[in-house]
Every structure is written in structure tokens, then in C-alpha cells.
Amino acid sequence: MPALEGMSFDHVLLTTRAVRKRLDLHRSVEMEVLRECFELAQQAPTQSDTQGFHFIVVTDRAQREALGDLFRRGHAIYKSLPDGVYGLKHSELKQEATRLRIMNSLEYLADHMHEVPVHVVPCIVGSTAGKPPAGISALMGSVIPAAWSFMLAARSRGLGTCWTNLHLLLAEEADEVLGLPVGVMQVALIPTAYTIGLEFQPAHRRPLDEILHQDRW
Ligand SMILES: Cc1cc2nc3c(=O)[nH]c(=O)nc-3n(C[C@H](O)[C@H](O)[C@H](O)COP(=O)(O)O)c2cc1C
């Protein structure tokens, strides 16, 4: 299935949202479509062309239930953390409204994760443990671009995704569920499904000049 007609590359970049409530839980996703997305994602850069990233595509019901359970338990832990979305109240009204919307949407995903037809788990051969900043940058930089490319390719084919990592609050159990070999690290759990409707809007972001620095921070 080629990218949807009329969706320009810029439109895909502008509208690839964290989709939770608009994941169609009742429509299955064809493996051929996913494979196209992964073939595109494989073009992402990796340090020294190591190509150490892997994707685990989880469609088995029992596996999704196990990951959904970990996500729900991770979410319960996350709710008590002071620096997460539940702990960080904003005084500015618009920001606070966004926070409340994310919390509501996150609760929904925690309740329904196991029903999402596909879970995608990007992994990388290696570990961040004990690494200096350059090593962490090289390792994470060798998997996150590929995972994001997958998410963009998915969006351009009418699929929605959401980068999540709360199941990693129980990382050892998550590794066991997925049969991860020693020396391989999983970095996210990306629920993937067709979206209910194709229209998504660009999100509110800070003014560019607040985050763009010339020559020095
Ligand atoms: C590192 C990272 C971790 C995230 N973890 C979660 C998560 O565990 N659960 C979730 O529902 N969304 C998660 N998100 C999605 C963010 O909440 C979302 O990207 C943010 O609210 C902005 O929304 P937008 O991407 O639609 O603009 C995560 C995003 C990133 C980049």
C-alpha cells in the first residue's frame, strides 16, 4: 500500500500525533503494510553503520495482554511520580488544559493497550549502562531515528502510533515477556492501529525562537 495520496511529506511531519483514543481497536493491520513501514525505517542512520536496531511486532493476543498488563502497572507507578504529567501542574491555563487532556488520553490507553491490534517494540543491541554521554547518544541515536521513521511511514498509510515507555518501569519482566536476548535493550512500546479518521492537526509548540539558538545557547 503506497502512502496516502495528497499527504505531503510536510503534512505527515506536521500531523504525526501521539494517537491513543483514535486507534481503531476493531480493524486489523495487514503485515504487508507494516513491512513497508519497516523497510522505510531501515534507511535510518546508525553509528558507524552498525544497523543494530531490531523491531519486535507483537500481534499475538496473549503477548499483547502481557504487555498491556505491564503498561497498566507502569502507568500506576508513573501516576505517583512527581515529575510526570500527573505531578507537574501548570499555572498557565492552556498548558494545564493540555496536561489534563493528556492524562485523560493516557488513562484510556492504559485501559485499552491490550486491545490495540499491533504493538511495535524497537530494540537496540547494546546497553546504556555505564556509558559516557557520547556512548548513550550513539546507542539511542542508532534506534530512535528508525523508530520515528516507522511512525511517520505508518501515519502516511493511515496508521496511528504513540511512543510509550511506561512498561519499562518493569523492564526485567518486559524483557522476559519478549524473550529478549542478553545484551539487547528495548526502548519503547508503540501501539499501532488504523486511525479513526485521517484528520490530525499540528500541535501547539513553543515559539521557534525560544528553542532555537544561534552559535551559543
Ligand atoms: C520519550 C517519550 C515518552 C513517552 N511516553 C508516553 C507514554 O508512556 N504513554 C503515552 O501515552 N504517551 C507517551 N508519550 C507521548 C507524549 O505524551 C506526546 O508525544 C506528547 O504529549 C505530545 O503529543 P503529540 O506527540 O501528539 O504532539 C511519550 C513521548 C516521548 C517522546
CB 8 within 8 Å of CB 97 = no
Q: What is the pLDDT of residue 153?
A: 98
What DSSP letter does each residue of 110-143 carry, written as one string? HHHGGGSSEEEEEEEES--TT--HHHHHHHHTTT
Three-class SS state of 9: helix
CB 143 within 8 Å of CB 124 = yes
pTM across the whole model: 0.95
CB 126 within 8 Å of CB 164 = no
CB 126 within 8 Å of CB 183 = yes
Instruction: Give bridge partners of residue 185 from the DSSP assignment.
Output: 124
Cα–Cα distance between 100 and 53 in angstroms, integer?
34
Ligand 1: distance of its center to the CA of 144 in Å?
14
pLDDT by residue for the chain (217 residues), tens digit each?
A: 666 777 999 999 999 999 999 999 999 999 999 999 999 999 999 999 999 999 999 999 999 999 999 999 999 999 999 888 898 888 888 889 989 999 999 999 999 999 999 999 999 999 999 999 999 999 999 999 999 999 999 999 999 999 999 999 999 999 999 999 999 999 999 999 999 999 999 998 999 999 999 999 9
CA–CA distances in Å: residue 165 to residues 6, 56, 169, 215: 32, 15, 8, 34
Closest C-alpha among 136, 107, 96, 112 to residue 26: 112
Q: Which residue's CA lies nearest to atom 23 of ligand 1? A: 18
> 29 is written with which cell numbers?
493491520
Please work out whether the CB of residue 165 comes within 6 Å of at least one atom of ligand 1: yes
Please work out whether the CB of residue 167 comes within 6 Å of at least one atom of ligand 1: no
The domain spans of the chain are: 15-197
Amino acid at 35: R
Cα–Cα distance between 159 and 197 in angstroms, integer?
10
Ligand 1: distance of its center to the CA of 57 in Å?
20
Torsion of CA 120, 124, 129, 135, to 10 degrees: -130
Cα–Cα distance between 126 and 186 in angstroms, integer?
10
* CATH architecture of the region 15-197: 3-Layer(aba) Sandwich (3.40)
Ligand 1: distance of its center to the CA of 18 in Å?
6
Give the ranges where 53-115 is alpha helix by DSSP (H). 61-79, 93-112
Packing angle of the helix pair 61-79, 93-112 (nearest 10 deg): 140
Cα–Cα distance between 217 and 213 in angstroms, integer?
5
Amino acid at 53: F
